[in-house]
Amino acid sequence: MKKIIIAAILALGFTVAASAQPKAIGARFGYGADLSYQHYAGGANFIEADLGLGEFSFLNVAATYNFMIAQPDWTSQGEWGFYAGPGLALATGKDLFYVGIAGQVGLEYTFNFPLQISLDVRPQFSFTNFGFWGWAPHLGLRYRF
C-alpha cells in the first residue's frame, strides 16, 4: 500500500511539473507551412514538433530538441532567444519517402503578451535517398501559454 501511495504522489508531481512548463502552439510559414508545437523542457531549452506540407507538396513531420544558446537583453520588454538543436524528420508524398536527421537554428522574440515570433531554418538530411531538403527560412507565429 505504501508503494502505491508513493507511486501516486510521484505521478502527480510529474504531472504538475509537466503542466507548469511553458508551451507554445502556432504555425511556421515559408516554402511550405507547418503546424508547430513547442514544449519547454527545463530552463529555456525546448522540444519543437511540426507537422505540415513541405517544399514539394509532401507531408513533413519533424521534431527537434533546441538548446537556448543566448538570451540577449536587446529590449526592456519581451524576451529574445537564439537557439539551435538536432532532431529527426520524416517526409512522404507522391513517390517520395524520406527518413532522416534535422538541425534547427533560429531567433525568437516573445512579447509581453502571449505571442511569440521566430525566424529559423531547419535543414534535413535523408538516409533513404541521401538528399537534403528544408533549407528555406520559416517565420513562426505562436501563442505561448
Predicted model pTM? 0.81
* Cα-based angle 63, 12, 66 (whole degrees, multiple of 5): 20
The pLDDT value recorded for residue 50 is: 96
Query: Residue ranges of the chain with pLDDT lower than 70?
Result: 1-21, 54-57
pLDDT value at position 5?
63
Tell how far CA 47 is from the center of its chain.
5
Q: Which pLDDT does position 58 carry in this prediction?
A: 80
Predicted pLDDT at 7: 60
**What residues contact 49, with CB distance under 8 A and at least 6 apart?**
36, 37, 39, 61, 62, 63
